[in-house]
Amino acid sequence: MIKLEDLEVRQAQFIAILAKAARRQRDELLGNVAEEDLGGVQPGRGEHNPTADLGYEPLPPDATQISALREAIASLSAEARCELYALMRIGQGHLGAKELRQGVSEASRLGDEAASNAMIEDADLHDHITKALYEADLSA
């Protein structure tokens, strides 16, 4: 089991809930579009949702749910945001659960604004955080 130093598990879980609500708001705005209507090739592995690449872009910047998500991420300390970024990367499959510190270093090198923006632009942030917490044996 890995140990978070600055981010509390409940904070990560709360942000995951906000990300899920923002995703739901975004999906409602997009409507139910059949995948074949969007074109493109269905990948054999990886992301099968062609709208995931859109992030939260379809939402207006002042949309209620995305604003709440931004505020929750901004309210964390810089160190906690780095750990949240690392959790996102673990959940995406780019890092192993034991590589949390590597993800924190990556977030530090990116800079606070870039790391925060990467989290805000991840339409699957809820799934990525939840998966990372599970993989790191931190989910309750």
Per-residue pLDDT reduced to its tens digit, 61-120: 666 778 899 999 999 999 999 999 999 999 999 999 899 999 999 999 999 999 998 999
Largest CA distance in the chain: 45
pLDDT at 122 over 80: yes
CA-to-CA dists, residue 10 to 15, 32, 88, 91, angstroms: 9, 32, 15, 17
pLDDT at 47 over 70: no
* Per-residue confidence (pLDDT) for residue 87, from 0 to 100: 96
* Per-residue confidence (pLDDT) for residue 33, from 0 to 100: 52
Give the mean pLDDT of 21-34: 69
What is the CB neighbour count within 10 angstroms for residue 99?
16
Total tally of structural domains belonging to the chain: 1
In degrees to the nearest 10, what's the CA dihedral of 48, 133, 125, 114? Answer: -120
CA-to-CA dists, residue 62 to 14, 68, 69, 71, 124, angstroms: 20, 9, 11, 11, 19
pLDDT at 41 over 80: no
* Per-residue confidence (pLDDT) for residue 40, from 0 to 100: 52
- Averaged pLDDT of the chain: 82
Instruction: pLDDT band for 54, please (50, 70, 90 cuts).
Output: very low
Give the mean pLDDT of 41-51: 51
Q: Classify residue 42: in a domain, yes or no.
A: no
Under DSSP, the state recorded for 58 is: T
Q: Which residue has the higher pLDDT, 55 or 140?
A: 140
Q: What are residue 97's phi and psi, to 5 degrees?
A: -60, -30
Q: Classify residue 40: in a domain, yes or no.
A: no
**End-to-end alpha-carbon separation of the chain, Å?**
13
Q: Decide: helix, strand or coil at residue 116.
A: helix
Q: Supply the range of the domain harboring residue 93.
A: 9-30+53-135
Q: Classify residue 84: in a domain, yes or no.
A: yes
Q: Classify residue 1: in a domain, yes or no.
A: no
* Per-residue confidence (pLDDT) for residue 48, from 0 to 100: 47
Judge whether 6 and 106 are in contact, CB under 8 Å: no
Q: Classify residue 38: in a domain, yes or no.
A: no
